[in-house]
């Protein structure tokens, strides 16, 4: 889906509601749960917004913008940090 999240989306039943859990691909996620949980009854639009919001929070605006533009800098999750750090110098 996005390079910011792992491919294996976990399906969880939480209080009777089906939810999908997207695991953050950072080694050290900045959120408490380590990913984004989304309930199936919510619109896809909010899911995408939540995923991007989380990606920007964990990886930074710069890395997300590079991905949106389709540049190959973020094909490996580990490369994000080195390329991002390089730009700040
Ligand atoms: Zn994260």
75 Cα: distance to centroid of ligand 1 (angstroms):
17
33 Cα: distance to centroid of ligand 1 (angstroms):
8
pLDDT tens, per residue, the chain with 89 residues: 468 999 889 998 878 888 889 999 998 999 999 999 888 776 666 778 889 899 999 999 988 888 877 765 545 555 555 555 555 55
Residue spans of the domains in the chain: they are: 2-85
Q: What is the pTM of this model?
A: 0.66
- Output the 3-class SS for the chain: CCCCECCCCEEEEECCEEEEEEEECCCCCCCCCCEEEEECCCCHHHHHHHHHHHHHHHHCHHHHHHHHHCCHHHCCHHHHHHHHHHHCC
The confidence score (pLDDT) of residue 62 equals 87
């Amino acid at each position: 889906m996005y390079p910011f999240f792992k491919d294996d989306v976990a399906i969880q039943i939480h209080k009777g509601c089906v939810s999908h859990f997207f695991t953050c691909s950072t080694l050290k996620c900045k959120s408490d749960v380590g990913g984004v949980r989304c309930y199936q009854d919510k619109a896809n639009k909010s899911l995408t917004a939540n995923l991007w919001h989380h990606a920007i929070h964990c990886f930074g605006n710069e890395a997300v913008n590079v991905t949106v533009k389709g540049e190959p800098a973020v094909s490996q999750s580990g490369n994000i940090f080195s390329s991002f750090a390089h730009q700040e110098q």
